[in-house]
Amino acid sequence: MLNGVLQLSLIESCYLIGKGRLVVHVDDSEDMDYDGIRDFASSFQDEFDVRLSAYSDLRARGLVVKTGFKYGTHFRVYEASPDDCHARYLVHAVSDDDLKMWPEISRTVRLSGGVKKEILFGRVHKNRIQYLEFKWFRP
């Protein structure tokens, strides 16, 4: 809540509308449905559907998902309430055809290790998510 108003991310809003847990009133005569908020969000955020798929999958697994913006990833993920624990994972959603360069992957892995979190790349393929974990080690 922010000044008596519920403030949610576009991904969280879309997810909750899709689950029938949220109604967004645009004006007195119209509510925004799932497709409307998804189209709206997609016009502002690149690869919104890829991130929404990963977000939905993580939530379906019973995890608490928050923005990972300050870590340069899409999400930080908690196994319980963020009030009771630190995030265990950083998750970056990638599409099936996304190409990452090793320096970018290395940078992400090093950052996650520096903040004591596991980094997972969530590969979105059709309606399935595969998670790939990278770990930093010294040879």
Catalytic residue chosen out of the listed positions 78, 92, 125, 131: 78
Spatial separation of the C-alpha atoms in residues 107 and 1, rounded to whole Å: 34
The confidence score (pLDDT) of residue 96 equals 84
Spatial separation of the C-alpha atoms in residues 73 and 66, rounded to whole Å: 11
Domains of the chain: 7-45 (no CATH), 46-139 (3.40.1350.10)
What percentage of the chain reaches a pLDDT higher than 90?
Answer: 55
pLDDT tens-digit series, residues 106-116: 777 777 877 88
Helix (H/G/I), strand (E/B), else coil: 131: strand
Residue 112 Cα distances to 7, 43, 85, 102, angstroms:
27, 30, 17, 15
Cβ-Cβ contacts under 8 Å for 71 (sequence gap 6 or more):
90, 111, 112, 115, 117
User: What pairing do the DSSP bridges indicate for beta strands 89-95 and 118-125?
Assistant: parallel
Catalytic residue chosen out of the listed positions 117, 126, 131, 135: 117
Mean pLDDT of all residues in 86-106 = 84
Catalytic residue chosen out of the listed positions 19, 86, 100, 125: 86
> Is residue 98 very low, low, confident or very high in pLDDT (cuts 50, 70, 90)?
confident
End-to-end CA separation in angstroms for the chain:
48
Catalytic residue at 89?
Answer: no
Catalytic residue at 55?
Answer: no
Catalytic residue at 34?
Answer: no
The confidence score (pLDDT) of residue 108 equals 79
pLDDT tens-digit series, residues 22-64: 998 887 778 889 999 999 999 999 899 999 999 999 999 999 9
Residue with tokens 């980094």: 119
Q: Model's pTM, two decimal places? A: 0.88
Mean pLDDT of all residues in 111-124 = 86
* CB distance 124 to 131 below 8 Å: no
> Is residue 105 very low, low, confident or very high in pLDDT (cuts 50, 70, 90)?
confident
Spatial separation of the C-alpha atoms in residues 56 and 63, rounded to whole Å: 10
* CB distance 45 to 9 below 8 Å: no
